Amino acid sequence: TDRKKLHTAPVGQVFRLRPFHVLVATGGGYAGYRKYEDYKLQQLEKRGIEVPVRLASEWEVALYKSVPTRLLSRAWGRLNQVELPTWLRKPVYSLYIWTFGVNMKEAAVEDLHHYRNLSEFFRRKLKPQARPVCCVHSVISPSDGKILNFGQVKNCEVEQVKGVTYSLESFLGPRISTEEMQFSRAPPGNSFQQQLVTKKGNELYHCVIYLAPGDYHCFHSPTDWTVSHRRHFPGSLMSVNPGVARWIKELFCHNERVVLTGDWKHGFFSLTAVGATNVGSIRIYFDQDLHTNSPSYSKGSYNDFSFISNNNKEGIPMRKGEHLGEFNLGSTIVLIFEAPKDFKFNLKAGQKIRFGEALGSL
């Protein structure tokens, strides 16, 4: 008679699942399954077996997007900024170095105790002599990474990997109408690709560089050019590793990205930093107004900023090899530029490249 009564909720209430929880659990499980599939594809590629292209269906893309990658990336960013105790720094960083094959001999500061948190370690600088900038060729690699694809842009479509394309206009956004910009002078009746080409006899070229987590995370100016405009696309933060890029068509158009456009001696030039899972933070050193991975964003929207009308009448001049920006972990750089028909890439698809090495020249 002295025992207390135990009040229990109905079984239906205890096991009630909300739609959000179902989406997160299902999407997270499917993302894990895709990671396993990517691993198997990588093993086949290492053995020299050609992997057929299988694109994701709309429901698969929607399921992947249901994973709250933007929220997870913001949480990861805050975790990276937590200061680690001195005794814990070396074990944590050593594990990361071993997992991703980081070469700390190239770092400006090799002592692991120097980096107070993961964010500082990810954004470590290199020794000045570690990346000599090629002076002979006109376009250099803006970062360390892996060459996913390169070549001429054809029929307003760009290849993110072999056999998988995305729309040039969807990626860069509508044509910029600022009259001062040289690349907006083409007749409006032409295709979007033709409107970007400012000089007769020139072609439009592209190059995609994937930065792995173990790569140097800063990126630099690939040539001498002037940045006139910035366009920021809030969006998803899906993985951009080669396996996912081979699976999801227009992956780069789905993800958050920052498009810098301007001109170089041969006409139109653009560099786009594409965000990815745990890489919601994209920083451009000369652009203090840029804030990526904001909690609130409108799907399909973009924000424009003109460095001509807001700062000066000449834009932001960049020298080849000059520091331009950084990722928080690793992601993708896409170059789209105009050049004469005799421009040649000195690359092979899938090769590793380091910042400062030649991409191509005339």
Catalytic residue among 138, 144, 229, 239: 144
Q: Is 130 part of any domain? A: no
Q: Is 152 part of any domain? A: yes
Average pLDDT over residues 211-230: 91
Q: How far is CA 294 from CA 74, 99, 123, 125, 353, in A?
A: 9, 30, 21, 26, 32
Annotation marks residue 291 as catalytic:
no
Strands 323-327 and 218-220: antiparallel
Annotation marks residue 206 as catalytic:
no
* Distance of alpha carbon 93 from the chain centroid: 23
| Residue among 256, 141, 267 at smallest CA distance from 194 | 267
Please count the structural domains in the chain.
Answer: 1
Q: Is 62 part of any domain? A: no
Q: Is 15 part of any domain? A: no
Quote the pTM value.
0.81
* Residue of higher predicted confidence among 318 and 44: 318
Interhelix angle 58-65/19-46, nearest 10 degrees:
110
Q: Is 327 part of any domain? A: yes
Catalytic residue among 206, 217, 220, 232: 220
pLDDT at 33: 56
pLDDT at 334: 95
pLDDT at 166: 87
Angle at 262 between CA 286 and CA 174, to 5 degrees: 110
In which domain, by residue range, is 209 found?
Answer: 139-175+193-361
Q: Is 306 part of any domain? A: yes
Name the token pair of 9.
Answer: 């909720």
Say which amino acid occupies 231: R
Identify the burial level of 200 via C-beta atoms within 10 angstroms of its C-beta, where 0-12 means exposed, 13-18 middle and 19 or more buried. exposed
Q: Is 17 part of any domain? A: no
Please list, in sequence order, all residues whose beta carbon lies within 8 angstroms of the beta carbon of residue 45, skipping any fewer than 6 positions away.
51
Q: How confident is the model at residue 343 (pLDDT cuts 50, 70, 90)?
A: very high
At 66-107, the pLDDT tens digits run: 888 888 888 887 888 889 999 999 999 999 899 888 889 999
Annotation marks residue 217 as catalytic:
no
Q: Is 294 part of any domain? A: yes
Say which amino acid occupies 212: A
Tokens 């909300």 found at: 18
